[in-house]
A and B are shown apart, each in its own frame.
Chain A
Amino acid sequence: MNTRDIVYIALFASLMAILGLFPPFTMPFTGAPITVQSAGAMLAGALLGARCGALSVVLFLVLVALGLPLLAGGQGGFGVFLGPTGGFLLGWAVSAFVIGYLIDKFQDYLNGLSVVAIIAFGGIVVLYGLGNAWVAVAVDISYWQATVASVPFMIGDALKVFAVTGLTLAVRRTYPEGLRA
């Protein structure tokens, strides 16, 4: 790990913190909040690669755990990890890793379709797989019930998948020399 990697990791962790300042958009009908912040985890994986992407998410989460109010809505501290949605926070790091790994693996075949598929897999399948398991344990309901309860949030994340795909392709096109992945 060289200096450049450390700087990229740190700057993307800061970027995730800034994304938390964008006002959340509330879904019509379901009332589920959509924040740009969880898109930050997908982006970190897609632009920094598996290792650096996951580490930048971990760095961001450690700062949240230490008591900085960096999560959207000014939340932070240990409590957010132990609460029912803690699995999703840890899941961000895993999903960044998976997205980074797949982007790297298929880097010769990247187009709108394949990037959507990769980011949807990492950002929804992997993330909700972990997050819902956590909810199920914390709240003592079955895995299936947790999955059903999370559907309104998945709609928001599906929108984010498309947004992040657009961003990833736009950044790769405009600034290819700055990419780690």
Chain B
Amino acid sequence: MNLASGLYQDRASPLHRLPAGLKVLALVALGTAVFVIPDWQILLAILAAVMVLYGVARFSPQILWAQIRPLLWLLVVFFAVQLWLNDWQAGLVVVTRLAIVVLFAALVTLTTRVSVMLEALERAMQPLRFMGVNPEKIGLAFSLVLRFIPVIATVSHDVREAQNARGLNRNMLALTVPLIIRTLKMADDVADAIEARSYDSE
């Protein structure tokens, strides 16, 4: 798992250069549109257009396939259910709808860096300041998570090794209780450390 880059795939394409906010808005618009369009022919045309966009973003067909593969058996089941309850047109509507939304959402994720997305989110939250939301606090929470995932992964590894030595490596409770308690203890230390550096949370 590469945390710094996430699911982002670097390519030189116009889609990669578009601002993150615009891509997210397009996703919202498309997501709404496909749920009000009941016609399978129009939906199939949209699906084809989304697939063309993968080409525009210079992604290989393998990447496109990798996005839809985890969903494949669900789509087959949904199609079968619709076929059984209604007819094949209804099945096609349901399946293409889901495929469009999932493929387009994956496209947004694949073409936008996590850091760029995070910046866009922080900008989008600025107006919420008047409602009592503090974007800096949320920013702190985000950076803490990104910093602590590798730290907790190390703790998890240590616990696993220690319980392995005791022959408890198949015992879920023996693996998770120490992990959680060490996380809670770490939280106290980190909070003290942040406050000792005069971080003002108010």
Contacts and interface: CB of A to CB of B under 8 A. Distances in A.
Interface secondary structure of A, over-half rule: helix
Contacts of A110: none
Nearest to A3: B201
B169 interface: no
Contact of B1 (A14, A69, A163, A170): A69
A67 B181 contact: no
A141 B117 CA distance: 34
A20 to B, nearest CB: 9
Nearest to B75: A84
Contacts of A11: 144, 148, 152, 183-184, 186-187, 190
Interface string B82-121: 1001000010011000100111011011101110011001
B18 interface: no
Contacts, number: 176
Contacts of B27: 78
Interface in B15-71: 24, 27, 31, 67, 70-71
A3 B102 contact: no
A82 B101 contact: yes
B191 A4 contact: yes
A79 B183 contact: no
Nearest to B100: A82
Interface residues of A, number: 54
A17 B109 contact: no
Contacts of B112: 67
Contact of B180 (A15, A73, A81): A15
Interface in A58-73: 59-60, 62-63, 66-70, 73
Contacts of B181: 171, 174-175, 178
Q: A10, A68, A163 — which one has the most chain B CB atoms within 10 A of its CB?
A: A68
B67 to A, nearest CB: 7
B81 interface: yes
A108 interface: no
Contacts of A79: 67, 101-103, 105-106, 109
A73 B121 CA distance: 25
B117 A14 contact: no
Nearest to B201: A3
A174 B183 CA distance: 13
Contacts of A170: 173, 177
Given A43-B180, A66-B117, A77-B106, A8 B187 contact: yes
A82 B148 contact: no
Contact of B172 (A9, A14, A63, A163): A163
Interface string A26-61: 000000000010000001000100000000000110
Contacts of B199: 3
Nearest to B1: A69
18 contacts: A3-B195, A3-B199, A4-B191, A6-B201, A7-B144, A7-B191, A8-B187, A10-B145, A13-B141, A15-B183, A36-B172, A67-B109, A69-B6, A77-B106, A83-B98, A138-B94, A163-B172, A167-B177
